[in-house]
Each structure stands twice: as structure tokens, then as C-alpha cells.
Amino acid sequence: MLIVANWKAYVETREEAKKLLALAKRLSKIRRIKIVLAPSFPHLGLLAPNNISKVAFAAQDISDTKIGIATGEVTGGALRSVGAQYVIVGHSERRARGETDALIAEKTKRALVNGLTPILCVGEKERDGDAHYLSELKHQLAAVFSALSPRERLGVVVAYEPVWAIGKHAADAMSSHDLAEMVLYIRKVLADYLPGKSAKSALILYGGSTEPANARGLAGGSGIDGFLVGHASVDHEMFPALVKSLV
């Protein structure tokens, strides 16, 4: 299982960042668990360059610019140079700040060109009765996958994060049954862009109120390959309990 810890803007001190890395290092020794930490940019620069553990690092965002005149932007090359291997793109909290599908497609491309694995977040804002949420999801996936070359498409990890389920508690998350349906649907959409076998084996994560109480249930039988964990990933009790519940 791939567990991506999305620290969002929860962690503000170097001390806390280091403590959470030490915790992740211990958990990364568990068999069949791969932990990827996604700290803020400054903490990525602090923790990733000296890392010799099995823990990997992700950035929470990437610039769509290549290099040069773009004050405040962080390029794929800069991320790569400090040791990031993954980057989260299209998170709903960034979409809410105005990121469009076109911008997200460009960011995904910049990640791939720089040898970073994009973790592409997709997910409906709400569940309506007439299945509009399925076309919303299809549209988000199509916008990115159609902008990539066949080879680039193979390098994308999809994180399915229903927006209505983010930042709450286990009881508000998606049911395992509904998640299984959504994972099948995502693989069906991906089959339009990837050769058959690759659509079946593409990595799909779930994100949205994953806690120790529901992680195992969500993982069992839903066909997901791991989780994108938000608030529980910065909690010293919940994160280890969540990871251990999966083995």
C-alpha cells in the first residue's frame, strides 16, 4: 500500500516536521507499506535532501513554468534538486483557489518532464441523484490524460478524493462499496487513454477523512492501491494506528 501523507499547511515548525519524519521512518519498515511525505516547500527542502530512509517525498504543488521570470513559483527542477520524487497536482484545495483543468494538465506535464511522479487528485464536489458526478470525474481525468503522451500517461498516480468527504471524520467518509464502484469507473475512463492492462494496474489512491477507524474497511475489496491522508497524517496517534491497521 502506498500511503501519501499530505501535511497541507498543518505543520509550522522544523521540530514538528522532524518528529513526523522520525515517525514515518519507523512505519516505513513495515512490509508492503510505502510512505510518501508531502510537507510544505520549506520543510521539503529541510527533510528530503538528507534522507537515506525508505520514506519518499512529495511536493504539494508544482509550477507550470519552466524556469526564469516567475516570482514565487517553484519549478519541477527545483523540487527534483532537493530530492522530491512525487508531486500532488490538482488537489481540490488548489482547484478551489482557481486552478483550472488546463493548468493542472500543464503542471502534470511539468512533473513528468522533470522525472517526478504526479499524484493527480480528482473527485466530485457533491453526489447528485442523476450521476452528474460521474461526468465531472470523467472530465477531470480526460482534461489531463488527453494532454499527455501515451508514455507519460503511464506515469500518473490517480488520487480519488470526493470533495464532500475531505477534512471530516471516518463516519463521513465514503463507504467501501461506493468506493469500489468509483474505482471501477475510474479504470473504465482510464482505459480510453491507457492500453487495457495498464488501466487495470494503474495506481489509484483514495483520500477523504481516512482515519484508523475506516482505513482497513476502505482498502478491503475496493481495488485501491493506497491512500492520500490529510489530517490523520499529522496526528502522532492516528497516523501509526492507520498504517498498522492496513497490515
Considering beta carbons, is residue 49 or 167 the nearer one to ligand PGA?
A: 167
Q: How far is the CB of 233 from ligand PGA (least distance, A)?
A: 7
C-alpha cell at 38: 508531502
**Of the candidates 104, 161, 179, 239, which one interacts with ligand PGA according to CB under 6 A?**
161
Considering beta carbons, is residue 58 or 105 the nearer one to ligand PGA?
A: 58
Q: Which residue is nearest to ligand PGA (CB)?
A: 230
Residues 200-229: x where in contact with ligand PGA by CB under 6 A, - otherwise, as a string: -------xxxx-----------------xx
Q: How far is the CB of 66 from ligand PGA (least distance, A)?
A: 27
User: Residue 40, interface with ligand PGA (CB under 6 A)?
Assistant: no
Q: Say whether 91 is catalytic.
A: yes
Q: Residue count at the site for ligand PGA (CB under 6 A)?
A: 13
Three-state secondary structure string covering the chain:
CEEEEECCCCCCCHHHHHHHHHHHHHHCCCCCCEEEEECCHHHHHHHCCCCCCCCEEEECCCCCCCCCCCCCCCCHHHHHHHCCCEEEECCHHHHCCCCCHHHHHHHHHHHHHCCCEEEEEECCCCCCCCCHHHHHHHHHHHHHHCCCCHHHHCCCEEEECCHHHCCCCHHHCCCHHHHHHHHHHHHHHHCCCCCHHHHHHCCEEEECCCCCCCHHHHHCCCCCCEEEECHHHHCCCHHHHHHHHCC
Q: How far is the CB of 206 from ligand PGA (least distance, A)?
A: 9
User: Residue 166, interface with ligand PGA (CB under 6 A)?
Assistant: yes
Q: How far is the CB of 232 from ligand PGA (least distance, A)?
A: 6
10 Å Cβ neighbour count for 143?
Answer: 18
Task: Name beta bridge partners: 37.
Answer: 5, 57
User: Residue 157, interface with ligand PGA (CB under 6 A)?
Assistant: no
Q: Out of 93, 106, 124, 161, pick the active-site residue.
A: 161
User: Residue 167, interface with ligand PGA (CB under 6 A)?
Assistant: yes
Q: How far is the CB of 163 from ligand PGA (least distance, A)?
A: 9
User: Residue 162, interface with ligand PGA (CB under 6 A)?
Assistant: no
Q: Say whether 161 is catalytic.
A: yes
Q: Out of 91, 93, 106, 124, pick the active-site residue.
A: 91
Considering beta carbons, is residue 183 or 194 the nearer one to ligand PGA?
A: 183
DSSP labels, 88-138: EES-HHHHTTT--HHHHHHHHHHHHHTTPEEEEEE--SS--TTSHHHHHHH
- Catalytic positions, written as ranges: 91, 161
Q: Which residues bind ligand PGA (CB under 6 A)?
A: 6, 161, 166-167, 207-210, 228-232
